[in-house]
Amino acid sequence: MFWERDPKGGYESKTKQSRTKLVREGLKELRTEIFKWQQEVKEKFEDDPIWVMPVIGTTGDMNKVWELDNEAALENWNVTSDSDHGEGFSSGSLTISPTGHGLFSGHISTQVPKDGRVKTAGYCNMKSLRPRKSFKRDAYLDWSQYTHLEMRVRGDGRNYLLNIGNAGYFDITWNDVYSYILFTRGGPHWQLTRIPFSKFFLASKGRVQDKQIQVQLDQVTSLGISAGDRINAPFRLEIDYIGVYHDPNHTETFAYEMYRVPKFMGS
């Protein structure tokens, strides 16, 4: 099979496959990768460049990145929870709602396993799969021409955490995410939310970093939505689409003050 960078390298895999099986699966996958490569070459010569240059004073331009309206669209997302790793009892799923939209739902439980190791629990997360070129080459989503993240959702009144992945080439950046809170209101009505990218703050492994930097919009690797407000109850978030929006009147680049600190700080 084709080589893929392992973001969790160093952990021993419990499953071992024979070389014969790997060769057979790799040959099957070769046909799919060649088709992807053909499509890339075709798009290179046929597609026109996308210009996002709305006139000042207009409502701006929006591009839907994910439309969660069928089962095939849900295959671009991965849902995990603390129970998947034996670190809690929460559960979550991503399905199609009765109205034909994506439904991120489940139950949050802050109960901690009695193993003497886990101290906190209670989260569920849905995360988009990383875009890839043919032959497993890493790719990025380029949102550099846009200013806002736009979502049309119908929530339950709970708060969710939005996470923009910015994993770079070196492994020290593989856990870098830029986060902001999605506030939802209960009730039967849909809400249209636009969050400036300038509001997202840098975090790594769940910890907000002291040294902040604005999100690198030309190197977006994923988008995640986390439910983990430490309320022991079911949650429900219906999603129509997730897109990016350009506001020509939005000039803010980074919303947070930065302070110059010494290079070496003693305790």
pLDDT digits (tens, 9 = 90+) for 152-176: 999 999 999 999 999 877 777 888 9
d(CA 110, CA 230): 6
Q: Kindly give, in sequence order, each residue whose CB lies less than 8 Å from that of residue 73, ignoring residues fewer than 6 positions away.
A: 66, 67, 102
What is the predicted pLDDT for the residue at 5? 59
pTM for the model: 0.81
**Residue 2 corresponds to which tokens in the numbers above?**
């084709």
Mean per-residue pLDDT, 190-213: 92
Q: Cβ–Cβ contacts within 10 Å for residue 217, how many?
A: 20
| Sign of the C-alpha dihedral computed for residues 56, 196, 64 and 50 taken in this order | positive
Q: Which long-range contacts (CB under 8 A, 24 or more apart) does 108-113 make?
A: 108/227, 108/228, 108/229, 108/230, 108/231, 108/232, 108/233, 108/234, 108/235, 109/232, 110/230, 110/232, 111/232, 112/88, 113/86, 113/87, 113/88, 113/89
Does 52 have pLDDT greater than 60? no
What is the predicted pLDDT for the residue at 47? 63
Q: Supply the Cα-derived Rg of the chain in whole angstroms.
A: 21
49-246, CATH topology level: Jelly Rolls (2.60.120)
What is the predicted pLDDT for the residue at 265? 56
